[in-house]
Each structure stands twice: as C-alpha cells, then as structure tokens.
Amino acid sequence: MTDNIIIKLARLIEERSDESLSLAALAREANLSPAHFQKRFKEQMGVSPKVYQEACRLKKLKAELRKGNTVTEALYEVGHSSPSRVYEKLNEKIGMTPRQYQKQGQGLLISYAHASTVLGKMLLAATERGICFIQFGRTQKEMLETLTDEFPKAQLQVMPQTSAAEFGRWIKALDAYLAGSVEKLDLPLDMMGTAFQIKVWKFLQKIPRGSTWSYSELAEKIGNPKAVRAVASACARNNLAIVIPCHRVLRGSGELAGYRWGFERKKALLELEEAMK
C-alpha cells in the first residue's frame, strides 16, 4: 500500500537534498515520532531517510560532474560544505573517484587474464585496489567484450608480467576452491557499484558455505524487507562470480532461480559447497 505522507516527504528530500534535513524535522512534518517515521520510511522506500538523501545527493553530484563542473564545485553545489571529508565516501559509492566518474572511468587501469576452470573458461580482471571482475563465458572474446562493456572508458591491458605471480595466486586459489580443497576464498576485491549494491554484495559474503537464502531473507538481513526486487537486481549485477556468492540465493519456493553464468554452473557450485560442509 502506498504511504502518501512518506511519498510526499521523499519528494521533499529530493528537492532539498542539498540542505541539512534532520530525522526529527522530517518526523515533525509527518506528525510522527522519529522512530516511527524512520520505520515507515524504510518500509515504503527500502532505505532510511538519511541513505535516501545521500542517494539524491549522489544523483545530483553525477549530474553536476557531467556538466563539466570541477569536483569541488560539484560537491559544494549538492550541499557538501567540506568536500575533503566526503571525497573517500563518494569513492565508495560511485565505485571510482569522482574525477574518474567525470571522465566515465577514463584513466582507470584494469589488467586481465584468462584461465580454464572446472566450470569453464574464466576471465579475471583487477585494478590496483583488487579484483573487480570475475566472469565465466564460452570464449575469451565474449568475456573480453563483457569487460569492455562494463568499463567502456577504462584502459584495459593484458596482465603485465610484473603482476603474473599475484594473478597466478588468485587463479590458483579459485581453482583450489572449485576443486574442493580449500573451504574459504580470501581475495582482495574492488567492488564497483552503488552503495545499495555493495551493501547487498557484502551481505552475500556472509551466507555460510553450503547454505542458501531466499531473496526475501536477504532483503530482511540488510534491513530492507520491502526491497526484494532491488536485492534481486543487485545480485544480477554482481561482476564477481564465486567470491560474491550470489549463487547461494534462491527463490522463495526453493528453486534455483536465474544465474547470469548459467543454471548448470549454479547447480554445480551449490553441490560442491554442500559436499564441503
């Protein structure tokens, strides 16, 4: 059921996202206690008023950067009085620094390598911060096209010899996991997505090996029980096969549901992890 007062205040937050809007002030507008207002807002919108305002600011920031404004100008324009304090947070939410976003990822260096696994051909790619892309595919060309589509303005390069040992360790760790000889993957990751997507992906990593959750259970775990569709969308946008275990999420009926790398791979992964319990 649509909560009209919450929708009205969500629009107010959008219009005034560059202002300081306290929970208490918003609750007074709704004639509710702060706790009750926060609860109703999360039920209707899927996130808290604070996170919603941050998302609105981020949307405006992206628009300002596209206009060609400097990063500092854009940050002031959307209501940040001290840009240096929020710069790193924006890095996390955009998935790259604001300057890189302004250039549509141009200047971001991504190295990649191909490998063969028991689940088929795989492409692994990384930035200087960690692995940003693990994909399965039928051909190397197909996987490289997917990487290019995901990071159209980044500089892509074949794994340099100086990084061969590190890439080799990562691929060896993935092979060992798929062979059932190690129980846990501990690899450096560079997750690139929205704040909501990254939150979902981090919760996916908390699903115990050999266990499964439904989309609705995952939505409840992240504190947004109404955001089932958004959770499913975040799972579908996962670019880090296996290490972000979206294969551990099933439909409420217990069916395997979709998996961007194929039903058979999902089934094989679940069977492997069940056997490792």
Cα distance between residue 20 and residue 22, in whole Å: 6
Question: Which amino acid, 252?
Answer: G
How is residue 202 written in tokens?
Answer: 């981090």
Cα distance between residue 187 and residue 40, in whole Å: 38
Residue in the structure block whose two tokens are 């060309």: 141
Q: What is the torsion angle, in degrees rounded to the nearest 10, for the CA atoms of residue 201, residue 234, residue 11 and residue 24?
A: -20
- Residue 59: which H helix or E strand, with range? helix 49-66
How is residue 156 written in tokens?
Answer: 């892509």
246 assigned to active site: yes
Residue in the structure block whose two tokens are 């980044």: 154
Residue in the structure block whose two tokens are 């628009």: 63
Determine the Cα angle at 104 with ends 102 and 105, to 5°.
Answer: 105
DSSP letter for each residue of 85-131: HHHHHHHHHHSS-HHHHHTTTTT-EEEEEEEEETTEEEEEEEETTEE
Expressed in angstroms, the distance from the first to the final Cα of the chain is 42
Question: Which is the catalytic residue, given 56, 132, 235, 246?
Answer: 246
Q: Is 46 left (phi over 0), alpha (psi -120 to 50) or beta?
A: left
Write out the catalytic residue numbers: 246
